[in-house]
Chain A
Amino acid sequence: MLMRKLRVAIDPQWTKELQDWLHGAAGGFLFGIPLLYTMEVWWIGSYTEPPLMLIVLAITFVIVFLLNRTDGFRQVNPDRPMQALMDSIEALAIGTLCATLILILLQEVTLQTPLDEAVGKVVLEGLPFAVGVALARSILSGDRQAETNENSDTKAAKNSPQSMPPRYNATLADIGATLVGTIFVASNIAPTDEVEMLSAATSPPWLLAILVASIVISYCIVFVAGFTTQDRRLQQQGAFQHPLVETVMAYLLSLGAAALMLWFFHRLSPTDPWPVWLEETLILGLPSTIGGAAGRLAV
């Protein structure tokens, strides 16, 4: 039995399937995270009636199916309707699982949460996640990006001096891209009340869990999910280009940017005690890091 399990684990077919799922999850996180930091959605989820939940689920399924006919989360085009149908169910499942994971991490769904409230939140938050899963291939890789890459490459070739060492270039480009992605996602969340509300409900073990999740999700998006730039990224040389080092450095960068944004939007002041700074920065750090990872992929 164990032998069989081991064989299954190393089967290349499984690696591919897992990559596809991670690929989808990465798209889901990018698309779904901003709505997860919106308390109105939690509230609406907590009093949505079951028939309406089914309707939301059905609408999500139709949207995801239509997207899967053209986009999808797999590396190949699912042109057959049957494949798109199967992929839609998988996209719905990935979206649901990811949304549940983050809702648990943020303590919006706990063991004390009544079942109807928990299911309502998962269904509503699962919608943007599932749509993100179905869009994974086109938002994070594919033709459109190849085109922009080409454009920026030619532009860069014209503008940048050729004498600059490529190693320095790659690291600097990563820092810039991380910051742009971080600011793009986190500046939508930093000025709102949610960060404060979530940090009031959290506790040290959960903060540690959020920290670990941020790093793992960021690593998965950039290095595991199998986007087109992944192979190129793994070949990049330089002090900060080792995958793990790069992920941790990017996380610290995103945390710094998150703290600055919280200060800039008057959510935190220098007179606030340091545990408040730490809590709120770590909580905003999760969407920041995901934005930063997306930013680095786009470069």
Chain B
Amino acid sequence: MKRTFAHPSKKRTLSADKIAFAIATLVVATLIGLILYLWVTQTDQPPILTIQQTQPIRAEQGQFYVPFSLKNIGGKTAEAVQVVGELKQGDRTIESGEQQIDFLSSFEEEEGAFLFSFDPRKADLKLRVASYKLP
């Protein structure tokens, strides 16, 4: 090491533009590598949409909040996903709410909440995904 300090030879030190070029090549190669990885691991599965109530229902100022989380565990992106929350008592629907999620790509998760004025714990609560379209 000492000899290098004493005689800083041009052969030993890589020139700045070569190192910069190497870094650049690494960045581009990483990007291409990631795309190829996605290509190889890509599944042709259509969207599989699951909806779950993630947190307990909370009551604020006479309204009941039902938080939900929507996840796409399929391979393709779903567009305009329609989520419906219904509150039923027997055959009768007391209240219902709708929500549309713009884009849900593979393994993406979105969260939201339905609001009811009737306590959902005293009725039959149903959360479901009604529809989507392919982009």
CB within 8 Å of B: which of A13-56?
13-14, 16-17, 20-21, 43, 46-47, 49-51, 53-54
Q: Check if B28 sits within 8 Å of A54, measured CB to CB.
A: no
CA distance A54 to B33 in the complex (A): 10
A253 at the interface (CB under 8 A from B): no
A94 at the interface (CB under 8 A from B): yes
**Chain B residues whose C-beta falls within 8 Å of the C-beta of A7 in the assembled complex:** 8
Q: Check if A17 sits within 8 Å of B17, measured CB to CB.
A: yes
CA distance A110 to B50 in the complex (A): 22
A11 at the interface (CB under 8 A from B): yes
Which secondary structure characterizes the binding site on chain A?
Answer: helix
The segment from A117-125, A155-163, A210-218, A272-280 that touches chain B is A117-125
Given contacts A17-B16, A43-B103, A46-B103, contact A93 B23 (CB under 8 A): yes
Q: Check if A116 sits within 8 Å of B28, measured CB to CB.
A: no
Q: Check if A51 sits within 8 Å of B39, measured CB to CB.
A: yes
Please give the distance in Å from B89's CB to the nearest CB on chain A.
35
CA distance A281 to B127 in the complex (A): 38
Interface string of B13-35 (1 = CB under 8 A from A): 10111011101111110011011
Shortest Cβ distance from B8 into A: residue: A7
Q: Could you name 20 residue pairs across A and B whose Cβ atoms are closer than 8 Å?
A: A3-B5, A4-B5, A13-B17, A46-B103, A46-B105, A47-B77, A47-B79, A50-B39, A54-B32, A57-B31, A92-B27, A92-B28, A93-B27, A96-B28, A114-B105, A115-B34, A116-B105, A119-B38, A122-B31, A126-B31
